[in-house]
Structure 1
């Protein structure tokens, strides 16, 4: 135990070293508070400080509404408070000081661009530092402040925060034992979707050299006309009638006590009233806050970034099982959604049902939505960049009588080798298999170190996929083109 001091461009910070030899520097500001006169603007560097700043505690999280029930039980969230000085990050390192030359992993949390925090205990990252990697987690603006399209203000402010944090890593991580030329950015859900967009943004080029995308890729974004519809709907919900820059000023005057519940309610409104005239393309994925882009930002073959990308086998069960929709979803909803996704319901559902005899409409809905939302975008990213590696997470959670399955976000604790964190128990149950965590965590560390997670790269001929947790006896299984017939349905569609 003890403390260590490292130097950043803004000033010196003091971290605390644990009995495991890992030194943690928590709550370091990477950008100035994005409020007051800086509300809805690009991030700027944090102000410098004199002396040594204690970095013993997490800084404030981004203002946001809590997860809605029942997700608030299944998805861990931070309890360290919210506040204006929220653009901060934390570093965990086995080598606090220059000269370490260690690979760096930078974590982008998920939460549908509306929830989440980098200081969740489940994202502790000590296990990565234990294994010779400098780990960084961060907060970025969410919801209205991060992603609502506003007149006279830059789009995608949350992504600009992520870029600012990566610039901080480039400029400072050597002081914490990291190599700025060996940075891997990794994230899950909205974090992975962010990375899918960053791969195509010129401003992010060169800030990271490898990327791991868990359950999210480049396909989730809002065209500007759809983003404008979301802005109009939220304004109407808040009673704002202004236009132009006056609209932006009006949003800035809304207290968070009113703004956060209103933005959280948009998703429920979409489900109750799925009208394209009101929501545009956002009704397909029920996410009112996403990056605003003109076209699909697939990474180019020469992007210069090594990719590890994948998804969970039953992602959508997270949204069907706790809400009891899995066995209540009507056939009509299954068929209409399949058609909205661009597939012929008769043909597609017969293919999906072939490997799931006797499946209820909700179970088939999970399979179709999982592919549309997560698996196919992951495959497209792997196809876009030669040498990419593809994985699938297949371990089935015992929660909800075993129905929760290999659902969305279930892999995170395995990646972090953090199965015993009490925050993960509702998702994982009492006895998640350590062998799967050893395999996944080890692959992520190897990829950060070398760009090779330990199996053959993906290509259109073999479509080699590493499956984690498919059976109790095999934590890993290398499969060629899993569920090929189902994958083939999406050719030319998504």
Structure 2
């Protein structure tokens, strides 16, 4: 048993393998009753000792649809108090030298995911001298619905509240509130890109890692379409007041119907961070050129075959013909020469593989290249990586989300193995895990900063656990995008 005093009261955690662990810590009040569709409210302090030995409730969400549910485990823990976080820190936690702090923001298209996934276990970060924090935040319509009578970006506001809690309490856990790195994947990385552009996040973190998520936000009027579609399905007004009268099961059922069929690469109805003039005052894609994020060290990267997570399991890859490829290029306004240029480096690729590579670049690699280019010559170091090790599971290749278990060094977790299989290279996990820790500790993951030569540390080259620095990879394809 381990006791620690926080700004709201005393917590009881556990000590496991030399690591003090505190789970389910509330950083904001439960978003229920009058607090539904409202900004996160402060926690009411408690008397006595609060148990923090089990994960807290997860945000309301639907399960992933088949067959993704077999590849992306998504624990669902019932309860109202979903605004909670977890901490792993070297034991004994109190009185230690200030350690680097890393705050993990999970992905899931802003409608799935939680901090309770075993892949995200922070034990090995704490083992290696980092205080690891993972957070939950509101998802779907309750976190990212757009209403005329409620603030936008409630899930992003939750993340800000969690970061404020970290700043106020890290001393007690042996962490340094002046050395905080936020890192996240997919929607978590998109969230961090928005935080980089947000004046509300100033001083809350000092380094950031964007894994397979690019800076993007859309106007509120456009994002409101999802909320309005749900309102039509439910037969209610598209207002927060009307939505708050319904229980969560009704909202989730309507959300499942309205968002069915889309994915991050093919599009469809979903949830987005919006430009709200407040938390996100301007487009995160253009804000860095105006100085947003100056002084914050940044590491970004993508996986070589991001698209395969969505194209392969359900058979979409095999249904894409040359005609479909050309139609998709026109519909999504990709460069008209892209099929020919991409095929030059992939002569044996199917039309689905060509389209997937184009979509991966359009949505992830190219926006991240533009972000890093905008930071050249500005304060704050910038680094780029690519994860290239191909999973043997279902021919997924180096697909979206595959790198996470390597970063956390949790290859033994059955949840991780759902994507990696049983023979993932442990040396590669050691290399990546150490690079993330080095970046958090001193702002240097161990390779060249981004510059005009475009250096990219490529992990898992040639299908092995090796890594190498590649300069300007696939630059002919990148130059197509201007």
> TM-score normalised to the size of structure 2?
0.94
Instruction: Give how far 1:283 is off.
Output: 9.5
Q: What is the rounded CA distance, in whole Å, between the counterparts of 2:134 and 2:51 in structure 1? A: 18
Instruction: Answer with 46-55 or 165-174: which moved more.
Output: 46-55
Matched, 1:156 2:153: yes
Gaps of at least 5 residues in structure 1 are 272-281
Matched, 1:337 2:356: no
Q: Which residue of 2 aligns with 1:277?
A: none
Q: Which residue of 2 aligns with 1:142?
A: 139
Q: What is the rounded CA distance, in whole Å, between the counterparts of 1:287 and 1:435 in structure 2? A: 40
Secondary structure of the structure 1 residue equivalent to 2:260: helix
Q: CA-to-partner distance for each residue in 1:154-205, whole Å, 9 max, x for gaps?
A: 1000000000000000000110000000000000000000000000010011
Matched, 1:121 2:118: yes
Q: What is the rounded CA distance, in whole Å, between the counterparts of 1:218 and 1:321 in structure 2? A: 26
Q: What is the rounded CA distance, in whole Å, between the counterparts of 1:17 and 1:285 in structure 2? A: 44
Instruction: Answer with 283-292 or 200-209: which moved more.
Output: 283-292
Whether the 8 Å contact between 1:112 and 1:287 is mirrored in structure 2 is no
Instruction: Give how far 1:308 is off.
Output: 0.5
Q: What is the rounded CA distance, in whole Å, between the counterparts of 2:256 and 2:182 in structure 1? A: 28
Whether the 8 Å contact between 2:389 and 2:465 is mirrored in structure 1 is no
Q: Which residue of 1 aligns with 2:350?
A: 360
Secondary structure of the structure 2 residue equivalent to 1:206: coil
CA 1:431–1:474 in 2, change beyond 3 Å: closer, same or farther?
closer
Residue from 399, 420, 425 that aligns with 1:428: 420
Q: Which residue of 2 aligns with 1:350?
A: 340
Q: CA-to-partner distance for each residue in 1:122-154, whole Å, 9 max, x for gaps?
A: 101111000000000010000010001011211
Q: What is the rounded CA distance, in whole Å, between the counterparts of 2:298 and 2:386 in structure 1? A: 14
Matched, 1:230 2:226: yes
Whether the 8 Å contact between 2:190 and 2:214 is mirrored in structure 1 is yes
CA 1:188–1:269 in 2, change beyond 3 Å: closer, same or farther?
closer
Q: What is the rounded CA distance, in whole Å, between the counterparts of 1:131 and 1:198 in structure 2? A: 27
Gaps of at least 5 residues in structure 2 are 277-281
After superposition, residues 56-455 of structure 1 pair within 5 angstroms as 56-79=53-76, 81-95=77-91, 96-219=93-216, 221-240=217-236, 242=237, 247-268=239-260, 285-286=267-268, 288-293=270-275, 295-298=282-285, 299-300=287-288, 301=291, 303-345=294-336, 347-386=337-376, 387-400=381-394, 403-455=395-447
Residue from 15, 18, 21 that aligns with 2:18: 21
Instruction: Give how far 1:426 is off.
Output: 2.1
Q: What is the rounded CA distance, in whole Å, between the counterparts of 2:320 and 2:225 in structure 1? A: 28
Instruction: Give how far 1:228 is off.
Output: 2.0
Matched, 1:51 2:48: yes
Residue from 460, 469, 475 that aligns with 2:460: 469
Secondary structure of the structure 2 residue equivalent to 1:33: coil
Whether the 8 Å contact between 2:226 and 2:269 is mirrored in structure 1 is no
CA 1:215–1:270 in 2, change beyond 3 Å: closer, same or farther?
closer
Q: What is the rounded CA distance, in whole Å, between the counterparts of 1:455 and 1:5 in structure 2? A: 40
Instruction: Give how far 1:262 is off.
Output: 1.6
Instruction: Give how far 1:76 is off.
Output: 2.1
Instruction: Give how far 1:101 is off.
Output: 0.4
Q: CA-to-partner distance for each residue in 1:190-243, whole Å, 9 max, x for gaps?
A: 000000000001001110000000000212x22122112222111111122x26
Q: Which residue of 2 aligns with 1:482?
A: 473
Whether the 8 Å contact between 1:313 and 1:407 is mirrored in structure 2 is yes
Secondary structure of the structure 2 residue equivalent to 1:174: helix
Whether the 8 Å contact between 1:41 and 1:157 is mirrored in structure 2 is yes
Number of residue pairs matched?
468
Q: What is the rounded CA distance, in whole Å, between the counterparts of 1:225 and 1:337 in structure 2? A: 25
Whether the 8 Å contact between 1:343 and 1:489 is mirrored in structure 2 is no
